[in-house]
Amino acid sequence: MITSRTGLRPLGRIALAIPLVVAGWLVLVVALTFGTSPGRSLAVIGPQAQAIAAVARANGRVLASSAYVTIASSDAADFVSRLYNAGALLVLDAEQAGGCNGLAPRRERS
């Protein structure tokens, strides 16, 4: 019995391309975070206690916190570097990543 593998090749390429695209996107997002302006909200990804400790050591302000995402802010231009030096696992621009800014949502008056 002869089987053809030509149908698997495109799926194999797609399966290989997806992780590469995701990894490239993550590298780009992390690199762009270093260029954020002071005062913007940043998402510190990692265990809550570790993230809050990193924000405190980096002289930042905690705006909101959950189990694995802590939203923080600082007026320091090098806040992202300070967070990584203080032990943060991953830092992303919260406003760019998903609109999170740590502020309560506005409620429309009815």
- In this prediction the pTM is 0.70
Which residues have a Cβ under 8 Å from the Cβ of 103 and sit 6 or more positions away? 63
Q: How many domains does the chain have?
A: 1
What backbone phi and psi angles, to 5 degrees, belong to 88? -70, 140
**DSSP state, residue 53:** H
pLDDT of residue 107: 60
CATH code, 51: 3.30.70
pLDDT for 83 equals: 95
pLDDT at 13: 82
pLDDT along the chain (110 residues), means of 10: 60 85 86 85 94 96 93 94 95 74 58
Parent domain of 48: 9-98
> Residue 56's pLDDT is what?
96
Q: What is the pLDDT of residue 70?
A: 95
